[in-house]
Amino acid sequence: MLTETIGANYPLLRVLDEHGIICGKLPDLSSEQWISLYAWMVKARAFDQKMINLQRQGRVGTYAPFSGQEAAQIGSFAALDQRDWITTSYRELAGLMYHGLPIEQAMLVSMGHPNAGKMPGHLNIFPIQIIITAQLLHAVGTAWASKMKGEGSISATYFGDGATSEGDFHEALNLASVQQIPVIFFCQNNQWAISLPASKQMATPTIAQKAIAYGIEGVRVDGNDVLAVYQVMKKAVQRARRGEGPTLIEAVTYRLGSHSTADDPTRYRDHAEWKEWKENRDPLNRYRIFLQHQGLWNEEVERAIQDQAKQEIEAGVVKAESLPKAIPTTVFDHVYETMPKRFVQQKEEMQRYM
């Protein structure tokens, strides 16, 4: 088939194979940076498990797990600058924390607290987008504005494979290509759009090849290889800063957990498939083996990293839970500059029952 022929032009780029053995060119990073990437992936995995536990205890609301996707997030965010604009879905908390979002604020998202949307002033991060794919349009807008103003910043937007079926995906890529906008479209293809497998969502063997239709750069990378992800993202960032237009990156990874804590993946996903990804393709295991071969990892290093992660996460829980509960009527306060009459009436009615 033609689509398969085209797809063959988008090989899965790797630096480390599934056994942690070097099979490509290593990126120019120091030993300290290598260890930092691992420490962040460990922290992200611990954060994810903590949030699931908190949800089961009724201390947070619905939560979207990301275990298995740590390399895709940490590796790509490591290539961005603080000046760059970032728009994400609800599954990129690991990357956002790496970029500077406080742990406690990441927790507030699932607590439904209004402070969750108040991003730190020194970070160009948009509030987390719940509507599938809407953030891609926001990324194109911010990158276009930056280009027009000559600021030198770019935009990076994150989404899942399911988002590529939405109209906003095509509109964003089309506008970005026509205007040569400095934006990176980073797709975490975790194989499942809730219960729909990628094979039933699209006829093309890759997402990266969709870039052809828009005349932009398309790249397919092993999303469980943190070094390969960093390398591919760094190149895309450099292209964007040079004015060479947008890039579509497909990071092939796997969602080890459920779509959300309201989902049961055992009802639609084959256990053997999950076991293969969990036991043989886990991004943390792969990278840990690499570090061990480089003489940078041992049990003592692991304990120190795990202990530090636990301390920071527990401190984040204390901070998040210590915030005063939000007053329900604040839901009306930050939508319009001048509140419409109907909102005023609804707010007054709600106050009568508080």
Active site residues: 255, 259, 268
Determine contact, residues 152/186, Cβ cutoff 8 Å.
Answer: no
Pairing of strands 247-252, 217-222: parallel
Residue ranges of E strands in 59-216: 85-87, 155-160, 183-189, 192-193, 196-197
* Run of H or E including 250: strand 247-252
3-state secondary structure string, 278-316? HHHCCHHHHHHHHHHHCCCCCHHHHHHHHHHHHHHHHHH
Q: At what angle do helices 283-293 and 70-77 cross, to 10 degrees?
A: 60
The counts of H helices and E strands in the chain are: 12, 7
CA distances from 166 to 193, 196, 243 (A): 12, 14, 27
Residues 287 and 37: beta-carbon distance below 8 Å: yes
Residue 39 in contact with residue 65, Cβ under 8 Å? no
What CA–CA distance (Å, rounded) separates 263 from 265? 6
Amino acid at position 273, single letter = E
Locus of tokens 């939508």: 335
Q: What token pair was written down for 146?
A: 């930056």
What are the two backbone dihedrals, phi and then psi, of residue 137, each rounded to the nearest 5 degrees? -65, -40
Place of tokens 């509140």: 339
With a CB cutoff of 8 Å and minimum separation 6, the contacts of 296 are 31, 34, 35
Helix 226-241 vs helix 70-77: crossing angle, to nearest 10: 40
